């Protein structure tokens, strides 16, 4: 391997045998990791070589810092790309991607999982009566209630204007039906406090328990149809 001192400067003068006490002191203060990394014999650690090694070490530190910053920026961009613009939950694209992954997991391990489709009732009336800011606040509240009442392994997403989806991992149809009813109850029992008024909220829901033979869009559409069946069913 070519000697690093030769790469740095082929004309560097070799130190004389009788080095001064000052030069010995400089060598003693040289960072040991720098010397070890260079793999140079002590005799070749001239001031010029030390300066080059120090500069290379500083440049390496700067590159590591820039790499860490770039990774943080990429992570932030990925989060923004996956997050709904209004609510702190997954957007439709990210939700479909996670649902696709869960379907693949179901196919591989034979573990049941389910998707729940929610449609918030009366959003047009809320917007017309209290304004669109109130409507946005209502959607954010629904998103928060869903997030607060599911497991960390579950996924909550906004699928459209007033439509939400929840992926319930390792959950059968019967278990998902009970969980969906509990989530709808949490929404119905938590009014939005807005401009001195309590605005009642409610949501229709539909459940579909999927297998590995489905794809994400099929599962969402099946849960959507189940939601509309519930919405059109006569009240008891």
Per-residue pLDDT tens over the stretch 2-59: 444 344 344 434 444 444 444 444 444 445 555 554 566 766 778 887 788 788 888 8
Cβ 154 vs Cβ 169: under 8 Å: yes
Q: Which residues pair with 210 in a beta bridge?
A: 113
**162 given a catalytic annotation:** yes
Neighbouring residues of 89: CB distance < 8 A, sequence distance ≥ 6: 83, 143, 146, 147, 156, 157, 158, 164
**What is the C-alpha to C-alpha distance for residues 6 and 43, in angstroms, rounded to an integer?**
13
pLDDT above 90 covers what percent of the chain?
Answer: 59
Give pLDDT tens digits for 130-150.
999 999 999 999 999 999 999
Contact 201, 120 (CB under 8 A): yes
Range of the domain at 69: 16-81
Distances (CA, A) of 156 to 40, 46, 98: 58, 63, 10
Q: Which of 192, 177, 199 is nearest to 143 (CA)?
A: 192
Indicate the residue among 81, 100, 129 that finishes a domain: 81
Single out the residue of 132, 147, 127 nearest to residue 83, CA to CA: 147
The pTM of the full predicted model, rounded to 2 decimals, is 0.69
Q: What's the CA gap between 38 and 80, in Å, rounded?
A: 43
Residue 91 corresponds to which tokens in the numbers above? 């957007």
- What tokens were used for 141? 């509240």
Same domain (yes/no): 162, 143: yes
* Phi and psi based region of residue 211 (left: phi greater than 0; alpha: psi -120 to 50; beta: remaining): beta
Looking at the domain assignment, is residue 144 inside a domain? yes
Quick one: 50 and 96 in the same domain?
Answer: no
Q: Which of 90, 85, 87 is nearest to 101 (CA)?
A: 90
Both 60 and 105 in one domain: the answer is no
Tell me the angle at which helices 173-188 and 132-148 cross, rounded to the nearest 10 degrees: 140
Residue 116 in tokens:
């729940």
Are both 76 and 97 inside the same structural domain? Answer: no
**Does any domain span residue 192?**
yes
135 in a structural domain: yes
Helix (H, G, I), strand (E, B) or coil at 165: strand
Is 1 domain-assigned?
no
Give the end of a domain, one of 49, 81, 113. 81
Question: What is the pLDDT averaged over residues 58-79?
Answer: 71
Residue 4 located in a structural domain? no
3-state secondary structure of 96: helix
**Does residue 120 belong to any structural domain of this protein?**
yes
Specify the higher pLDDT residue, 81 or 104. Answer: 104
3 in a structural domain? no
Q: Could you tell me if 29 and 70 lie in one domain? A: yes
CA distances from 148 to 53, 60, 186 (A): 54, 44, 10
Domain count, the chain: 2
Q: Are residues 29 and 120 both part of a single domain?
A: no
| 121 and 219 both lie in a single domain | yes
| Active-site pick, 154, 162, 214, 224 | 162
Together in a domain, 223 and 107: yes
Place of tokens 């869903």: 146
């Amino acid at each position: 391997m070519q000697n690093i001192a030769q790469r740095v400067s082929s004309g560097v003068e070799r130190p004389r045998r009788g080095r001064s006490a000052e030069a010995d002191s400089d060598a003693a203060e040289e960072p040991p990791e720098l010397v070890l990394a260079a793999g140079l014999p002590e005799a070749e650690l001239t001031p010029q070589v030390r300066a080059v090694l120090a500069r290379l070490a500083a440049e390496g530190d700067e590159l590591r810092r820039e790499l860490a910053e770039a990774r943080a920026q990429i992570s932030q961009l990925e989060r923004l790309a996956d997050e709904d613009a209004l609510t702190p939950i997954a957007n439709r694209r990210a939700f479909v991607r996670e649902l696709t992954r869960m379907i693949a997991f179901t196919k591989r391990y034979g573990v049941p999982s389910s998707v729940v489709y929610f449609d918030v009732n009366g959003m047009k009336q809320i917007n017309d009566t209290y304004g669109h800011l109130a409507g946005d606040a209502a959607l954010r509240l629904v998103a928060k209630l869903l997030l607060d009442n599911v497991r960390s392994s579950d996924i909550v997403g906004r699928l459209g204007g007033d439509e939400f989806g929840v992926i319930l991992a390792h959950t059968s149809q019967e278990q998902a039906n009970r969980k969906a009813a509990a989530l709808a109850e949490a929404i119905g029992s938590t009014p939005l406090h807005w401009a001195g008024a309590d605005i009642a909220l409610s949501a229709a829901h539909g459940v579909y328990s999927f297998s590995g033979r489905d794809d994400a869009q099929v599962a969402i559409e099946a849960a959507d149809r189940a939601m509309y069946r519930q919405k059109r069913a006569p009240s008891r």
